[in-house]
Chains A and B, each alone.
Chain A
Amino acid sequence: MSVTSVEKDLESLTMTVTADLDATVERAWQLWADPRQFEEWWGPPGYPTTVVSHDLRTGGSITFFMTGPQGERRDGRWEVITADPPHHLELRDADVDDDGRPNDGNSMTVMDITIVEGDEGGAVMAVRTHFDSLAGMEAVLASGFEEGMRAVLSQIEGVLAGTPR
């Protein structure tokens, strides 16, 4: 259990997932900087990720696709807003519709990744995701539907991956 916190901030519409990793900062950076390593962890089991192009420099971009169990393909494209190895990475979902809204179903707009050295020598990685959608969570919380809403996780992953099982 290396996820140490998950913060859902309704004011700034962000979700921040912080994890302690048993790795150096440089090693943790390679999770993003090495496309072969990225492919290993990004997609859920059954949805292998293939990186098509990978230019992890400020102003660069990353394109990849995931393949589902039935061979269906989902493309992803990120613009690299900031790449400051090995500590800071900012990625914008470039796959948007005509109104500039993210259209990948995650409603993710920007990911802000920071990697710093932890107190005990490991790396602390924080991924702050700016959604255009966490407002929805506020509405749901305000409406009092807090209990009993946790779905079967494998199904949720399927929905998010575009392929309900």
Chain B
Amino acid sequence: MVVDQVSDADIDRIFHALADSTRRDILALAIGGRYNVSELAERYPMSFAAVQKHVAVLEGAGLITKEPRGRQRLVRTDVDTLQRARELLDGIEELWRARVERIDDLLAIEPRTTGGKQ
């Protein structure tokens, strides 16, 4: 699997976009690419403008795309970007696992000075 080059700014936009429950819900709804913004907006107890703004944040983060379909523009979740976000989170876990391995190595070459199990 090849990880695309992702800038820090890209990553921040992705995580900022994902940090809101409405936006996460929109992502789940839009996986199939069946709805336009108006149809999405009908599902939430907020104004069309508010939903449109959430969609714009998701689009800016590359998490959704808009596809022309006749006179409509359908909102579709970009699965690849979601995968990258997931990979980053798994990566953070692996980062810590690797750090602990380095700590183990460090402790092995520098014996403790006091106490502990023998």
Interface residues of A (CB under 8 A from B): 2-3, 6, 8, 15, 17, 19, 21-24, 26-27, 31, 37, 40-42, 44, 97, 101-107, 120-123, 127, 129, 131-140, 142-143, 145, 149-153, 155-160, 162, 164
Contacts and interface: CB of A to CB of B under 8 A. Distances in A.
Interface stretch (B47-55, B65-73, B80-88): B80-88
Nearest to A162: B8
Contacts of B19: 132-133, 135-136
Contacts, number: 176
Contact of A121 (B82, B108, B116): B116
A89 B115 CA distance: 22
Nearest to A121: B117
A129 B93 CA distance: 10
A23 B114 CA distance: 9
B112 interface: yes
Among B83, B91, B113, B117, max chain A CB count under 10 A is at: B91
Interface string B27-46: 11001000000000000000
A103 B101 CA distance: 27
